[in-house]
Amino acid sequence: MQERGSVLVYAEQEEGEIHQVTFELLGKGRELADRLGVGLGSVLLGHRIGKQAAEPIHHGADKVFLYDDPSLRDFDVIRYARNTVKLLEEEKPDIFLIGATRIGRTLAPRIAAALKTGLTADCVDLSLDANGDLIQIRPAFSGNIMAQIKTRTKPQMATVRYKVMKMGERNPERKGTVVRKKAEIIEDTGMKILEKTEADEVNLTEAEVVVSAGRGLGRPEDFKLLEELAETLGGVVGSSRPLVDAGWIGKDHQVGFSGNVAKPRVYIACGISGAPQHLFGMRDSDIIIAINKDPSAPIFNVSDYGVVGDLYEILPALIRELKRESGKEDA
């Protein structure tokens, strides 16, 4: 049998802060590397990020390939891809994992195309077959089916959805090697960042908890109730389309086919009947809780927990219960 390459994880950073999905991938990557009997590496690109280089090691990496260069200060897909491709050509890993964030999904296809290797998008699970080849599991057809994908070429590349893998325990005692690499400088990539602004709008796509309202909501002011619940759970407020169209809440909050696709750990649908258009935007949530007065509402067909009742009674009770619980912990 030919010698196996390592498992490599892309460490995504923004403004010097490593994205959590990286640590989730390192957790999974460690598991895969141990089963294959190979090392786990991580590649980190940026500027003045040396301090962060130990983090992947604390989360399970044996080796971190660090590219610290002023030209890599901001994300430039050509510079980031070119340097990563060079590393992959040198290191020849068997498996290369990238977070399925917007940055990851911008970068990964370029790398895969440059290496003429396969790339599986937005995986929700990874495992190994008897030959040690990667089984990549992803939803297809907007969640109608699940597919197991395999890759004939190396590295086997996958982007992996944020928040589907368990993050390993951080161990600051863990030791590993930081390999400082010299970045290839590409002066003109054809792209220039003119301005960066904080995106302070609601980010439904990456939210852990979404509390959404539909036509069951009586008046725009009552979004306060949802906001309170969302805040208690550290989440954000979503909405079905009719309320957005009526101008009750901004389009940023819209969940559904013509809005945002939310994939939180928990989705609480309040007074939402569950039209297919809406289901498209939330059916991949880990847990769906539905509150609706109408027992025949289709939303109950996709819910893990259903409450046939009035959101104006359930939500205040739920907020009280959550506050009581957190009070207990503080005490």
- In whole angstroms, the minimum distance from the beta carbon of 115 to another protein comes to 10
| Cβ contact 16:46 at 8 Å | yes
Q: How far is the CB of 3 from another protein (least distance, A)?
A: 20
Query: Given the rule CB under 8 A, which of 89-97, 167-175, 238-246, 309-317 is the region that contacts another protein?
Result: 309-317
| Closest to 43 in 3D by CA, of 3, 100, 85 | 85
* 112 touching another protein, by CB under 8 A: yes
Contact 234, 265 (CB under 8 A): no
Structure tokens at 124: 């929700």
- Using CB under 8 A as the binding rule, the residues of this chain from 74 to 93 that contact another protein are 75, 77-78, 81
Residue 180 is a binding residue for another protein (CB under 8 A):
no
Q: Is the dihedral of CA 89, 87, 20, 239 positive or negative?
A: negative
Contact between 174 and another protein (CB under 8 A)? no
Q: Which amino acid is at 180?
A: R
CA distance 198 to 183: 28
Least distance from C-beta 62 to another protein, angstroms? 27
Question: Applying CB under 8 A, does 14 fall inside the site for another protein?
Answer: yes
Q: Between residue 15 and residue 54, which ones bind another protein under the rule CB under 8 A?
A: 15, 19
Q: Cα separation of 44 and 12, whole Å?
A: 7
**Residue 185 within binding range of another protein, rule CB under 8 A:** no
Q: Does 253 bind another protein (CB under 8 A)?
A: no
Question: Smaller CB distance to another protein: residue 39 or 264?
Answer: 264
Q: Return the closest-CA partner of residue 178 out of 19, 54, 85, 60.
A: 54
CB of 11 to another protein, least distance (A): 13
